[in-house]
Amino acid sequence: MTAMEAIEQLHARLSARFPDAAPTVVLNPGPAAQHSLLVPATQARAIAEFLRDDPELQLDTCSNVTGIDWPEREVTETVRRTVTEPPAADAPPGTAPAAKVVEEKVRRVVPGHLEVVYHLYSVARGHGPVILRLRTGDRGEKVALPSLTPVWRACEFQEREVFDLFGVVFTGHPDLRRLLMWDEFRNHPMRKDYVEPDDYEWEPTPHDRILAQARRHYPVPPTGSGEPAPR
Amino acid sequence: MNPAAQTPEPAPAPAAPAISDAERAELRRQGILLTSIEELYNWGRSNSVWPLQFGLACCAIEMIAASMARFDIARFGSEVFRPSPRQADLLIVSGTVTKKMAPQVVRLWNQMPEPKYCIAMGACAISGGPFKQGYNVLKGIDRYIPVDLYLPGCPPRPEALLHGLMELQAKIRAQPLTGPAAPAHLRPGADGGECVIPDFGPHDLEPPHDPARWQPPRLIRTE
Amino acid sequence: MNPAAPPSRAGASVRAVQDPFHGDLLEVSMGPHHPSTHGVFRMIATLDGERIVRLKPVFGYLHRNHEKLGESTSYLASMPYTDRLDYLNSMTNNWAYALAVEKLAGQAVPERAEHVRILLAELTRLLNHTCLAGFLLQDTGCSGTPLMYAFREREAILDLFEALSGSRMMCNFQRFGGCRVDPSPAWMEAVSALVGRYDRFLDEYEELITGNEILLARTQGVGVLPAALAINAGITGPMLRASGVNHDLRRVDGYGLYPRFPFRIPLGDHGDTYDRYMVRMLEMRESLGILRAVLRDLPGGPIIDPKAKLRGFRPKPGEAYGRIEGPKGEIGFYLVSDGGPNPYRYRVRPPSLINLTVLEDLCLGHTVADAVIILGSIDIVLGEVDR
């Protein structure tokens, strides 16, 4: 069975079992062909329990939990619209309005979100991976997702890490606190828009970011002050 | 001032007769050892440097390998790695110092009694190393504690650590017991030099470096 | 007692807590500087007398933002960083990363390279399990002697790695499509010689250690891990097999050319610390069998795929998860590519961190001294836990 057939079969079974919260198949382009299922957050816990307890699947372990940050991006698309023009005032009555196809470039902002990817395997049956994706509403307020730690204990530390580094709040997690950074830390460092604090990184021949930072550290002395200006 | 009227300077006191090495050797054969307290004291100290059992990351494995039978740091006097800072003379910072770990490193350094020395082993302890682009990486432990020896490498071989230890021993032997360069426990009035322990701030350590110990480098060349 | 209180970061490492059920308890912070925590790892143990009532691990003291670096570094330039993840076993880290990238890009690997990869992975397994035997015994209190024996053998294997790749520990050896350097016949001879005498070292070591009554008393029945909990908690590697679960990725996934080389999988009966130790000793003997078979069957041919793209490597957009059975467990890399020279997301699945999920369960009811041995038998490396 190819990867494509396997994911279609799984999708069919889950859609039959959870008709009101069916997952969608996310195809993975590229040679790896590891396709995944996008699962709506409301039914994620129930779907996870089904995947774990179903006698045919028996996905009894979660191997990997990853957070991914998809910031909002601007997309420029070319849209073709049909424009109908009313007939000219001096045209004979009964003339049909002229239709023209107009191409225009439309910019739209694709909203950002955070994504959590679960890789599930079966130790009992030796198959896998089955990949689940959960997406948050946005990157600001709506960052809550259900925790799958009550289903697979393996998610405990990894979900804490996704909370620490990305900011996804897992509801139902037994002990949600920061894992790697200290508790007083603010920000979520793995986000794409995180700005690192300037702590005087040094290079003997600086360029780009470090050069720009270094120039900000020391103002250029005024001419005639006797101090050599940085060349 | 009339140079002719200058009182002649008193003649310098005659130099003490220097004892040649041959005479010294002869005396030793007769069982008499002539040395200075400084030499004896420093000889004893330099040949029994006990490091603190303190490994952070990959360099710690090479430090452990240096203490094992093949490279054998014990023959240099570092017979035991002390687990308690109160009993150690040398802090080998081996591995990346992260900002989360930095307060503990400084606290350990403060707990070590004088005379104490610090080796920054590996690129990460010197300047952040390959991880210097890190939000959690301290770009060099010399931002908070005084370092006596920098040992580059990623990781430095155990032989490099032994070479570094030999250089440190030479430095200890050359240390005078009086004057401003003496070790702190022999300098009357030295304040002990407790290093500033950083605190966890919302974005970075506070202070990000100790201004008394480390100043950010000046930008000299920009192209 | 406030169970949600963050661990005290400053000042007191020992403090008294009041518990309504147990009365006066003592909260001890073991680490991050501690002789026995295998690196900068911190355990906050709440003790009722000498027994552990609660144990919370604290991580992050070696968090070097490896994953963020991966996003700003090209695929090939991340290879030396993978050496520094599990810094004892650089060859297997390299292979896991190379496998994931080869899956992402659809890159084939020639047969000779696959054989050499298995050779190096099994040598790394020998190295790791030997070190674990030394460190575990060090934790029980035999200060120094078993570790000296273990490091003597480790030095022999490190000499081989240095002769081949130029560095003892940070080998940076695998490439996408093969290996960096073709081993010479003289190097193969040296490996054969090592494999020939390793059995005698294992016999000597086992005679010294395995039947020792102090070791038996201190490790049998300590830190029992039930199989169902192990599977649900994502435990992998020798720790899982010591609980009786027959799950070895070399058999299950059959990556590389492992299906060609038969080997047995040792399983434990009880899941205690002694089983975790014995499983590793037996795995070393199986590794020697695989090594002998590989040395016998090593083919000629290129060491790297001639069509492998080293410069300007830009895999097509997509994602891939590749994993291998490293000496500590399942080490996997999850890569998301957007078609650029750097990965969009670079994630390491750390076996040591996930194996620590059950640390509290294993230590409850045991003494502080047992907690040290249990941590030693889980076999963690902080470079991997914190990345």
Partner chains of B (3+ C-beta pairs under 8 Å): A, C
Give me the residues of B, 21-50, that contact C with CB < 8 A.
Answer: none
Q: Given an 8 Å threshold on Cβ–Cβ distance, is A181 in contact with C353?
A: no
To the nearest whole Å, the CA of A160 is away from the closest chain B CA by 17
Decide if B156 touches C, using CB distance below 8 A. no
Decide if B65 touches C, using CB distance below 8 A. yes
Chosen for mutation from B52, B54, B68 (greatest number of chain C CBs closer than 10 Å) is B68
Question: Closest partner residue to A34 among C317, C321, C347, by Cβ?
Answer: C321
> In B, which residues are within 8 Å of A202 by CB distance?
127, 139, 216-217
Decide if B128 touches A, using CB distance below 8 A. yes
User: Of all residues in chain C, what percent carry a pLDDT higher than 90?
Assistant: 74
To the nearest whole Å, the CA of A206 is away from the closest chain B CA by 7
Question: Closest partner residue to C151 among B68, B83, B95, by Cβ?
Answer: B68
How many Å apart are CA C183 and CA C163, to the nearest integer?
9
Q: Are C327 and C129 in contact (CB under 8 A)?
A: yes
| CATH of residue C272 | 1.10.645.10
- Give a yes or no: residue C330 inside a domain: no
Question: Closest partner residue to B221 among A185, A194, A231, by Cβ?
Answer: A231
> In C, which residues are within 8 Å of B98 by CB distance?
60-64
Q: Given an 8 Å threshold on Cβ–Cβ distance, is C65 in contact with B131?
A: yes
In this structure, whether the domain defined by B51-174 belongs to CATH 3.40.50.12280 is answered with yes
To the nearest whole Å, the CA of B153 is away from the closest chain A CA by 17
To the nearest whole Å, the CA of B54 is away from the closest chain C CA by 7
Nearest CA in chain C to B58: C87
What is the tens place of the pLDDT at every residue in C299-346? 999 999 888 888 888 999 999 999 999 999 999 999 999 989 999 999
Nearest CA in chain C to A194: C68
User: Of all residues in chain C, what percent carry a pLDDT higher than 70?
Assistant: 96
- pLDDT tier for residue C9 given thresholds of 50, 70 and 90: very low
Decide if B109 touches C, using CB distance below 8 A. no
B190 pLDDT more than 70: no
- pLDDT tier for residue C24 given thresholds of 50, 70 and 90: confident
Decide if B132 touches A, using CB distance below 8 A. yes
- pLDDT tier for residue A91 given thresholds of 50, 70 and 90: low
How many contacts does B have with C, using Cβ atoms within 8 A? Answer: 91
Nearest CA in chain B to C73: B133
pTM: 0.89
Q: Given an 8 Å threshold on Cβ–Cβ distance, is B134 in contact with C170?
A: no
> In A, which residues are within 8 Å of B203 by CB distance?
185-187, 197
To the nearest whole Å, the CA of C40 is away from the closest chain B CA by 6
> In A, which residues are within 8 Å of B220 by CB distance?
230-231
Question: Closest partner residue to C231 among A60, A66, A117, by Cβ?
Answer: A60
Give me the residues of C, 301-360, that contact A with CB < 8 A.
Answer: 315-321, 323, 330, 332, 334, 336-337, 344-345, 347, 349, 353-354, 356-358
Decide if B123 touches C, using CB distance below 8 A. no
- pLDDT tier for residue A231 given thresholds of 50, 70 and 90: very low
What is the tens place of the pLDDT at every residue in C277-287? 999 999 999 99
pLDDT for C50 equals 86
Tokens (6 digits) for B222: 């920009």
Tokens (6 digits) for C173: 């050896």
Architecture label for domain A3-71+113-171: 2-Layer Sandwich (3.30)
pLDDT mean across residues, chain B? 86
What is the tens place of the pLDDT at every residue in A125-152? 888 789 999 999 888 888 899 999 999 9
What is the tens place of the pLDDT at every residue in B80-118? 888 899 999 999 999 999 999 999 999 999 999 988 999
Domain that holds residue C222: 109-311+357-386
In chain C, how many domains are there?
A: 1
- pLDDT tier for residue C237 given thresholds of 50, 70 and 90: very high
> In C, which residues are within 8 Å of B100 by CB distance?
60-61, 63
Nearest CA in chain B to C87: B58
Q: Given an 8 Å threshold on Cβ–Cβ distance, is B155 in contact with C69?
A: no
Q: Where are the domains of chain A?
A: 3-71+113-171, 76-108, 197-231
What is the tens place of the pLDDT at every residue in B141-167? 989 999 999 999 999 999 999 999 999
In the block, tokens 């020998």 appear at C126
Mean pLDDT over A55-79 rounds to 88
- Give a yes or no: residue C183 inside a domain: yes
Secondary structure, 3-state, chain C: CCCCCCCCCCCCCEEEEEECCCEEEEEEEECCCCCCCCCCCEEEEEEECCEEEEEEEECCCCCCCHHHHHHCCCCHHHHHHHHCCCCCCHHHHHHHHHHHHHHHHCCCCCHHHHHHHHHHHHHHHHHHHHHHHHHHHHHHCCCCHHHHHHHHHHHHHHHHHHHHHCCCCCCCCEECCEECCCCCHHHHHHHHHHHHHHHHHHHHHHHHHCCCHHHHHHHCCCCCCCHHHHHHCCCCCHHHHHCCCCCCHHHHCCCCCHHHCCCCCCCCCCCCHHHHHHHHHHHHHHHHHHHHHHHHHCCCCCCECCCCCCCCCCCCCEEEEEEEEECCEEEEEEEEECCCCCCCEEEEECHHHHHHHHHHHHHCCCEHHHHHHHHHHHCCCHHHHHC
> In A, which residues are within 8 Å of C358 by CB distance?
153
Nearest CA in chain A to C66: A190
Q: How many CB atoms lie within 10 A of CB A71?
A: 13
